Amino acid sequence: MKISVIGVAVVLVLVAALTGTAVAQGGTLRIGMTASDIPYTGGQADNGFEGLRFVGYQIYEPLINWDVTKDDRLATPTPGLAESWAVRKDNPLIWTFRLRKGVTFHDGSPFNADAVVFTFESVKQKDAPHFDRVGASNAGVRISLLKSVKKIDDYTVEFESVKPSSFVPYQLLYVMMVSPTNWAKVGKDWRKYAESPSGTGPFKATRFVPRERLELEVNKAYWNPKRMPKIDKLVLLPMPEPTTRLAALRSGQVDWIEVPPPDAITPLKAQGFQIVTGPYPHNWGHTLRLDKAPWDNKLLRKAANYAIDRVGICKNLLNDTCVPGTGVIYKGHPWFGNPKETYEYNPEKAKALVKQAGYGDGRRPPRAVHLISTSGSGQMLPLAMNELIQKNLKDVGLDMEVQPVEWNTLLTRWRAGFHTPENEGLNGWNISLAFPDPSSAFQRFFHSRSVIPTSLNTMPYLNPEADAILDAAEKTFDVKEQDRLLGKLHEVLVDDAPWIFIVHDLNPRAMSAKVKGFVQPQSWFVDLTTVSVTK
Amino acid sequence: MLSVSSSETAPAVRPSHVTRVAGPPSYWRLVGRRLARDPVTLAAGALLGAVALSAIFAPLLAPYDPTTGSIRLRLASIGAPGHPLGTDEQGRDMLSRLLFGGRMTLLAALTPIVVACVFGSALGIVAGYLGGVLNAVIMRVSDVLYAFPAILLAIAISGALGPGLGNTLISLSVVFLPRIIRVAEAVTVQTKSLEFVSAARAGGAGPWPIVRYHLLPNVLAPILVFTSTQVSLSIILAAGLSFLGLGVTPPAAEWGLMLNTLRQSIYVNAWVPALPGLAIFVVSMVFNLLSDGLRDAMELRT
Amino acid sequence: MGSLLFRRLLLTLPTLLGASLIVFTMVKLAPGDPISVLMPADAGQAEIEAVKQSLGLDRPLPVQYLKWLERILHGDLGRSIATRRPVVADLGDALRNSLALALASSALALIPGLLLGMLAAFKRGGPIDKVVSAVAITGVSIPHYWAGILLVIVFSVQLGWLPAMGGPADPGVIPYLRHMVLPAVALALIPLGVITRVVRSAVLDILAQEFVLTLRVKGLHAGAIVRHVLKNASPQILTVMGLQFGFQLGGSVLVETVFSWPGTGYLLNIAIFQRDMPLLQGIILVLSTMFVLLNLAVDVLQGMIDPRIVRS
């Protein structure tokens, strides 16, 4: 009698344990990234948005986060570590943020206003002992509007902006909160912090082999029960070469790769892999240098834009994993507006424009030297695409030479601008850019106040008309009015052609059939907490 | 490291080597006849001739422009209509690219060899003949450069200078110069000590006639043979540098560069990417066979 | 013996010094300003000067060289600009992987090379000799990076037997070995060819000498003859084996690139692209030093086996 009761109890416990384990166990997700190294784990990740995607937003969190749970609409800001925020009615320069309570960092210390102030100073205040030079070079340029932050009480802070602007919250999407306690614990050294990272995110770093892998496990103390990860372990592997990623996916070495080689998409589908694509606010083009020949001539810039066979690139080179881009924004987005120039593939028109600019009949404009990368976040297939573009340009009388460098190197040099000794000979950069919010999309590139080193207007694009529209858009807190103004701005930009617009990527990813639950949002970022890996 | 000689410091020229007092043309005729009798060498020579001709006449032979292509036709297989060797990832005709690529690869590989041979021989012979401090300086500098494995030195120099054909020529010349200097010096020293030279000196002959009539004929042959063994390495290195992105830059056609860009397409069309490598292999093999034949014909065993 | 070692060691010192000078100069030749990579965009002139001073870049070149040399001798190879880790740490991991690859590849080249070379020499002129010689010259002429690509095409893409690239994602000896097979084979081809040819040539030389004829006439059986031959040919054979191992260790860049094998060659490639000068310097310095020491070891070994062969 006793034995059978114990026996039943044992069986019940076993069953509970087994099923409990089965539910909790979500497997290991191994991702092959296009980055050539592990993104910086000290908080403000490098390697562009891919760094933020897999390291930044997984280990850390900003005050305002992205809602990347839906695939049918553009991702929008949502409360992250801040529960609410609002501009002060009596002083439009001050924003009050109410912080979330009960959140702890991976090292156990609480998240509060001190952490916010510490983080802000680490990326803005150069003379602070806790200034993070690496992190600041990644995040500093994204927060050009923020002047200072003040602690009001443990869970309230006030940000002061340099001018009244409705764009302020958008900038806080990109600053990850770091732990002052951890910084002190590791010896007040950001290098050591990167080796023992501590954030508030759903994943925490467990093992870090530079250049090879970053292993993360679930943060069991994560504050948001709705976003508790379903997998046990996340492994990130840098694989800058498309063929390597493809080989790794096919052989089962990884479960998910970013940017599969477009040619391999059809065979991958045939072999049972999932291919996920979708529009997102991405732009791939060449940012031009406007204070030096040849691109100081607007006619030549327009000519370049009419010379590119975008449909050819998308259909033939990229197997329909992109759509032609004829502006900063893609058609269908509220900010597209109604531009006059349509930039369809028209080499004859391009040649005519070149001639109109005073060249042709043996006289060619000076050669442009552009810096490109060999891979990278959102960079698609830079070498193959650029070869084609070179050819398109050559056919209409424009000469472009490319200098490939590694992605992070490109980003570093880009942020320094054209007027450094190293970059002095360049006329353009081929950088994939994002437009998820007005600040990122327009303000940091096209406003005359955003020149280096304040922000990233490297060209520099100095147009009072654009400035005026941007200022107006910034002043209004009415979203519809803002959209209308930004549409007008876009029309001006398309006409001025400070970039050679080329394509918008469709963010292809390939994953094994075992990966379930992933929702591809219209964003550069992803939510990995919904993903599970079946056996 | 890819030299086929057993000793890396100098070919051991045995005294049994045919010693000549003056340079009778009949020696070279003898060599020529021996070369002609070996079928393998003849075949290699013929192949080399074909390669050379196709490189020189590439503009006439190539059916298409090597830098234009239609991306609609990319990665066509070998035997595709109109493109017997297929097309590359940009849709450019492979046959044309291979022909023009040959020019580039051969130029990048042979120029440094010629430069190194001319200057290396001069320096080595001078060092060997004059001895003393000059010898010490030249040889020590050569030793230092020789201390680096060939590929590493080439990469170091090209990596520092940057990509481009010119920089490749410089770095490969620096790689091969010390090797030829070492061989030239060693052979010169050996020959200098031979009896007939000291006899000539004792007879009152000045240095220049000695060098010209006694030294050079005996020294040039081993130098030439050694140089010929380095050509295949030079080809592999030149293409290898482009393969790494340190040599010729796109959109130029060059075998190593083509191998690099096509490598990304092996999952789509496996065999077109193999073609540039095959070309490198064939030319490299041809030079190795020829240098073997030359060495045998000159009766220089190492 | 000890004095031989000491003397040879002494002779290598100027070579090592010269090599270090070349490595140092080479980096200074490189275009581009290393400071601009380190500084944030809005660094003022004073700040740049301060960083320059802290890195010692404002001193005259010879002083910089000496200071650099001093640090090297203390084992400090500087910090990688990209990872900000000490170069020694990055290099250590990579070196382990490259050594593993070189050892495996050497086994694949040395043993068959020795056997085939001897076989060809003993059966000189016959069909076996011809076949072996053809194989050898093919090996010598193959661009190893192409061979790697072919191996990937056949064994990974078409047959799917072996993984194509990278170091293993999963831990364990078996995955490590599986990933190493193809690159080791690719790297072994040229050395295999060279060693076969050298062994054949060396053995032929010995066989032609009178004492061997005498031994054979005396009726000494094949095994003993082989041993005699090997002993006499060993200096040449050892030299070439040592050199080829050096080639595999120092020259593995191309193969590692094809296979994304995380060794020193792969690291070198990354360092070049990222213009990571400290890393580049460190790798080249360490590899060439190993190469010089390897040559030294081979020389000494030769001297030990056959004191007649001591070189001046």
- Gyration radius (Cα) of chain B, Å: 22
Nearest by CB to residue A387, choosing from B251, B264, B266, is B251
Contact present, B273 and B266 (Cβ < 8 Å): yes
The pLDDT of residue A361 is 77
Pick from C140, C142, C146 the residue to mutate for testing the B interface (most B CBs within 10 Å).
C146
Q: Which residues of B touch C152 (CB under 8 A)?
A: 266
Virtual CA dihedral for A200, A205, A206, A211, nearest 10 degrees?
Answer: -170
Instruction: Tell me how crowded residue A254 is: count the other CB atoms within 10 A of its CB.
Output: 25
- Is residue A185 very low, low, confident or very high in pLDDT (cuts 50, 70, 90)? very high
| pLDDT, position C132 | 92
Question: Given strand A256-258, what is the order of strands in its sheet?
Answer: A203-209, A213-218, A233-238, A28-33, A256-258, A509-511, A274-276
> What is the DSSP annotation of B177-191?
HHHHHHHHHHHHHHH
Chain mean position to CA B278: 18
Q: For residue A405, give the nearest of C89, C164, C273 by CB distance.
A: C273
Q: Give which of C277, C292, C286, C288 is closest to C64, Cα–Cα.
A: C277
- Those residues with Cβ within 8 angstroms of residue C105's Cβ, 6 or more apart along the chain or in another chain: C183, C184, C185, C187, C188, C191, C248, C252
Nearest CA in chain A to C149: A243
Q: What is the tens place of the pLDDT at every residue in A351-381?
A: 999 999 999 777 889 999 999 988 777 888 8
CA dist C205 and C235 (Å) reads 13
Measured in angstroms, the CA of A299 and the nearest CA of chain B are apart by 26
CATH superfamily of B48-60+81-298: MetI-like (1.10.3720.10)
Condensed to tens digits (0 to 9), the pLDDT of residues C271-294 reads 877 777 788 888 888 888 888 888
Mean pLDDT of the region B159-170:
85
Angle between the B216-243 and B94-130 helix axes, to the nearest 10 degrees? 140
- Percentage of the residues of chain A whose pLDDT score is greater than 70: 95
Return the pLDDT at A405.
83
CA dist A51 and A66 (Å) reads 15
A427 pLDDT higher than 80: yes
The pLDDT of residue C285: 86
Rounded to the nearest angstrom, the minimum Cα separation between B245 and chain A is: 9
The residues facing A95 across adjacent strands are: A87, A159
Pairwise CB contact (< 8 Å): A384 & B261: yes
Of B71, B245, B261, the CB nearest to A317: B71
Check residue A392 and give its pLDDT: 93
pLDDT digits 0-9 by tens, C187-227 = 999 999 999 999 998 888 888 776 667 777 777 677 777 78
Worst-scoring range by mean pLDDT, B173-177, C109-113, C238-242?
A: C238-242
Instruction: pLDDT band for C31, please (50, 70, 90 cuts).
Output: low
**pLDDT tens digits, A143-174:** 888 999 999 999 999 999 988 888 899 999 99
Could you tell me which chain A residue has the CA closest to the CA of B245? A404
Q: Does C54 touch chain A (CB under 8 A)?
A: no
Rounded CA gap, A335 and A373, in Å? 28
Percent over 70 (pLDDT), chain B:
84
List the single range of A74-78, A229-233, A283-287, B213-217 with lowest mean pLDDT.
Answer: B213-217
Give residue-wise pLDDT tens across range A460-503: 999 999 999 999 998 888 888 999 999 999 999 999 999 999 99
pLDDT band (50, 70, 90) for residue B2:
very low
More confident residue, A51 or A1: A51
Q: What pLDDT, on a 0 to 100 scale, did the predictor assign at position A23?
A: 39
Q: Which of A158, A85, A88, A162 is nearest to A117 (CA)?
A: A158
A131's tokens? 């200034």
Interface test with A, best of C35, C79, C81, C83 (most A CBs within 10 A): C83
Q: Which residue has the higher pLDDT, B11 or B106?
A: B106
d(CA A52, CA A60): 9
pTM to 2 decimal places: 0.79
Contact partners of C by the rule of 3+ C-beta pairs under 8 A? A, B
| A409 closest CB neighbour out of C40, C167, C275 | C275
Best of C140, C243, C293, C310 to disrupt the B interface (most B CBs within 10 Å) is: C140
Q: How confident is the model at residue B129 (pLDDT cuts 50, 70, 90)?
A: confident
Q: Please state the rounded mean pLDDT for residues A78-93.
A: 91
Cβ pairs A/B, distance under 8 A:
52
Q: Do C142 and B284 touch (CB under 8 A)?
A: yes
A310 to chain B: nearest residue by CA? B71
Mean pLDDT value of segment A418-445:
89
Tokens at A198, concatenated:
């501590």
The pLDDT score that the predictor gives to residue C54 is 67
Q: Which one has a higher pLDDT value, B13 or A172? A: A172
Q: Residue A510: pLDDT above 90?
A: yes
pLDDT confidence of residue B22: 56
Give residues with Cβ within 8 angstroms of A445, minimum separation 6.
Answer: A287, A433, A455, A456, A457, A459, A461
pLDDT-derived band at C43 (thresholds 50, 70, 90) equals low
Residue C1 confidence (pLDDT) above 80: no
Task: Assess A244–B contact: CB distance below 8 Å, yes or no.
Answer: no
C268 pLDDT higher than 60: yes
Instruction: Search chain A and give the residue with CA nearest C165.
Output: A244
* Strands A515-516 and A82-88, bridge-based pairing: unpaired
Candidate ranges A294-298, B260-264, C73-77, C248-252; pick with highest mean pLDDT: A294-298
With an 8 Å Cβ cutoff, is A452 touching chain C?
yes
Q: What is the mean pLDDT of chain A?
A: 88
pLDDT of A214 over the 80 cut: yes
A79-84 mean pLDDT: 93
Please, which residues have CB within 8 angstroms of residue A299's CB and are 6 or more apart in sequence? Answer: A353, A354, A356, A357
Among the ranges given (A66-70, A284-288, B261-265), the one the predictor scored with the smallest mean pLDDT: B261-265
Nearest CA in chain C to B301: C201
Query: Mean pLDDT over all residues of chain B?
Result: 81
Let me know how long chain C is.
Answer: 312
Residue A406, chain C, CB below 8 Å: the answer is yes
Name the residue of chain A whose CA is nearest to C175's CA: A253
| ipTM of the complex in this document | 0.81
Whole-angstrom distance, CA of residue C12 vs CA of residue C289: 10
User: Is the predicted pLDDT of residue B23 greater than 60, yes or no?
Assistant: no
Q: Which residue of C has its CA nearest to A192?
A: C85
Residue of A251, A413, A456 to mutate, testing the C interface (most C Cβ within 10 Å of its Cβ): A251
Model confidence at C53: pLDDT above 90: no
The residue among B18 and C28 whose pLDDT is bigger is: C28
Nearest chain A CA: its distance from C62 CA (Å) = 24
Q: Taking the mean position of all CA atoms in its chain, how far away is CA A114?
A: 27
CB contact under 8 A, B147 and C194: no
> Phi and psi of A275, rounded to 5°?
-115, 125
Amino acid sitting at position A156: T
B261 with A263: Cβ contact below 8 A: no
Helices (H), B39-131: 39-56, 58-61, 94-130
Mutate to test the interface with A, among C47, C256, C273, C280 (most CBs of A within 10 A): C273
Q: What is the pLDDT of residues A244-264, one digit of tens each?
A: 888 888 888 899 999 898 888
**Residue A79 touches partner B, C-beta closer than 8 Å:** no
Residue B55, min C-alpha distance to chain A (Å): 24
CB contact under 8 A, C274 and A408: yes
A243:B75 CB<8 A: no
